[in-house]
Amino acid sequence: MSSDLALFLRQLIRRPAEVVALSPSSAELARAMAAGLSPASGPVAELGAGTGKLTRAILDRGVAPADLTLFERNSEFCDHLRATFAGVRVLNQGAETLGSACAPGLGAVISGLPLLSMPNAVQSAILQGAFALLRPGGSFVQFTYGPRPPVAEAVRIVLGLTARRGEMVWGNLPPARVYHLTRAAT
Whether residue 13 is predicted with pLDDT greater than 90 in this model: the reply is no
pLDDT for position 165? 96
- 135 in any annotated domain: yes
Regarding predicted confidence, which is higher, 4 or 29? 29
Structural domain including 93 reads 25-183
Whether residue 20 is predicted with pLDDT greater than 90 in this model: the reply is no
Question: What is the mean predicted confidence (pLDDT) over 164-182?
Answer: 95
- 110 in any annotated domain: yes
- Mean pLDDT of the chain, nearest integer: 89
Question: What is the mean predicted confidence (pLDDT) over 21-44?
Answer: 89
- 92 in any annotated domain: yes
Helices (H) and strands (E) in the chain, counts: 7, 7
pLDDT for position 25? 81
- 7 in any annotated domain: no
Write out pLDDT tens, residues 151-167.
Answer: 999 999 999 999 999 99
- 19 in any annotated domain: no
- 4 in any annotated domain: no
Question: What is the mean predicted confidence (pLDDT) over 19-46?
Answer: 87
pTM, two decimals, is: 0.88
Report how many domains make up the chain. 1
- 5 in any annotated domain: no
Question: What is the mean predicted confidence (pLDDT) over 61-72?
Answer: 98
Write out pLDDT tens, residues 86-129.
Answer: 999 999 999 999 999 999 999 999 999 989 989 999 999 999 99
- 15 in any annotated domain: no
- Furthest C-alpha separation in the chain: 49
Q: Which of 161, 160, 137, 166 is nearest to 42 (CA)?
A: 137
For position 152, which CATH number holds? 3.40.50.150
